[in-house]
Amino acid sequence: MVLYGKFFIHADLYGYKGIMDFLRNFPTAPLAAMAVMLALAPFYPEPHLVEKLRMLSQGELSKGIDIFDLFLHGTPLVLLLIKLFVLKNKSGD
């Protein structure tokens, strides 16, 4: 425990263990819904994630808003993949 101002905060809250505990305890269904919705939004004409990944592969991803958009739409999908693959494999040991 570490004292920050008036509050005691667990020292490993923001470390690797804290993130894994957060993902382990976070319900899978809402994370999956969030990942699918943000990965495919907007549905027409082309999902932002597809567009930004195409821009990244072509070397055209240079604007700050485009990089932010890639992280915004891709983060829930990456977290879901980590939760499904890494955490499920560790629980099987």
Q: Does residue 45 sit within a domain?
A: yes
Residue 20 pLDDT more than 90?
A: no
Q: Does residue 9 sit within a domain?
A: no
Domain tally, the chain: 1
Q: Does residue 8 sit within a domain?
A: no
Q: Does residue 79 sit within a domain?
A: yes
Q: Does residue 4 sit within a domain?
A: no
Residue 30 pLDDT more than 60?
A: yes
Q: Does residue 10 sit within a domain?
A: no
Task: State the pTM of this model.
Answer: 0.71
The single-letter code of the amino acid at 26 is: F
Task: Find the domain containing 40 and state its range.
Answer: 28-91
Q: Does residue 56 sit within a domain?
A: yes
Consecutive H or E run containing 7: strand 7-9
- Note the maximum CA span of the chain: 50
SS3 assignment, position 12: coil
Which residues, other chains included, contact 8 with Cβ-Cβ below 8 Å and sequence gap of 6+?
1, 2
Residue 43 pLDDT more than 90?
A: no
Which residues, other chains included, contact 34 with Cβ-Cβ below 8 Å and sequence gap of 6+?
76
